[in-house]
């Protein structure tokens, strides 16, 4: 039983910062998923793969893992690149406009 502690990055379709401040603890799967012979769905008998705990800080998640005796690995979050853009930059005057002579 091994856990990873991480702060999720926002996905490409997300402009807001919801759930970006929370830290999650997830267990890594101990068994590989296999297809069900009847239906063809992938399934696993590992019940810990369904557990996802959320914490307000990295320290709280690490303290929980230590208290429960769970070996863990902390994944450092990547800081997103912030591009400061102005709406006025779309109308830069250095380009020649098609209607100007």
- Is-above-0.85 flag for pTM? no
**With b meaning 16 or more CB within 10 Å and e meaning fewer, what string describes 59-91?**
eebbebbeeeeeebebeeeeeeeeeeeeeeeee
Spatial separation of the C-alpha atoms in residues 99 and 47, rounded to whole Å: 66
Q: pLDDT of 25-62, one tens digit each?
A: 999 887 778 888 888 888 777 788 788 999 999 999 99
27 touches 49 (CB < 8 A): yes
Q: For the chain, what is the mean pLDDT?
A: 82
């Amino acid at each position: 039983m091994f856990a990873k502690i991480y702060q999720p990055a926002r996905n490409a379709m997300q402009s807001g910062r919801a759930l970006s401040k929370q830290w999650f603890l997830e267990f890594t799967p101990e068994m590989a998923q296999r297809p069900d012979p009847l239906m063809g769905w992938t399934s696993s008998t590992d019940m810990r793969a369904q557990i996802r705990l959320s914490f307000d800080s990295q320290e709280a998640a690490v303290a929980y893992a230590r208290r429960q005796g769970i070996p863990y690995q902390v994944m450092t979050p990547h800081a997103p690149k912030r591009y400061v853009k102005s709406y006025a930059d779309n109308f830069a005057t250095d380009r020649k406009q098609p209607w100007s002579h």
